[in-house]
Structure 1
């Protein structure tokens, strides 16, 4: 699972672009207890979701021309410009070229070979989110893509990510970890988009997982708040109880009640 001991290639920021920021604020506030703080009058509506006075995510209003409401996962880069060039050389695209966010850091938005957007965050004064891997915060990310080997090759070339297989009855799951830290720093996975026709219909994407203490109660609360259940809560042996949701504007995310770590 994720921590805030960020290394290159690991997720270190996340934000949601939404057609209705007030509705998103109410939804995530009711679901996770997050409070929203504006980044100021010059930030274009951007702000920060906070939990117990720690930043867990960002949020901003977007127009239909900017794309559908969605969560964007950002990966740490010590040189956003070089990483963006590597993405272009690997047949990806640069959607937003690297730009400075005051003295807080440098950001960019890229797309992989399948067209899936993802971000880069080169830390300045802000290393990344202030909490991860705890209830109400980001704990895992998962790429749903039409070609797992091609995606693994792309992210290895661009971000240095390593993959490994976890086998289970009937198949295998492709896990992802940064080059530094090895499998102990594992933070996500890559899964075939075709495995779930409901997800395939809406195209490939990065799916963020948020840690919760009760997946079933969170699903019920999401529905009460106007969200949509894309996959009902189910147990994944050795992993936890997982559900896939969408907020009232359509941004997709997942929740998980992780299996407690076993004591040695």
Structure 2
């Protein structure tokens, strides 16, 4: 696995907010930044990275191709535009953002184009996001020997995606958890608050440590520097087996899913 275990998510962060957050994160020690064409913040992130003084080789940079750019030529051209905005010659990881199972562009085209982007050196690694088990199986058939670096999916204490996790582990596929904090819901959870109290931590750190303990990468976000610092320290939190079991019991499945756009989502496992 080459995908860093801990990074900064930038969904919904724009303009001066994303500039400040990325600058704070880099100062705090973050060395992985996750963005997407659809986030409309690649340019601002590129500005901050260029001005930060942090060597390019030290930052793992991920972007995602938005569905409007899935046709072969559009995908390759749009990724070149992303590189220009990010002010880099190559990103470390490029993902297909959503599978769009009923879209005009089939997986054979956009996944083959993504592999071509890797061959051309536009991206060092490739992966997918929001793919279900069937989608992952098909992706591997299409890509053949070209490896998938990760599948980035919504995983948090209330949506634990166990069938997908089991399949990924069996196939040696890495998972990246997004929305690990369930858009802040974890902060008021009595179980997570109790576990946090026993460790001198906070519930966000507990949720992140829970995901990390399962081998997932995480990409939490915050607009507050103190929260960015606190999230980063979750890497040092070791949960007990009892803690993990208590969090496992919080899973309620699909009822807790947050991200599920009708036009792009697969049939969830």
Q: Which has the higher strand share?
A: 1
Q: Which has the higher helix share?
A: 2
Interval containing the TM-score (normalised by the shorter chain): 0.3 to 0.5
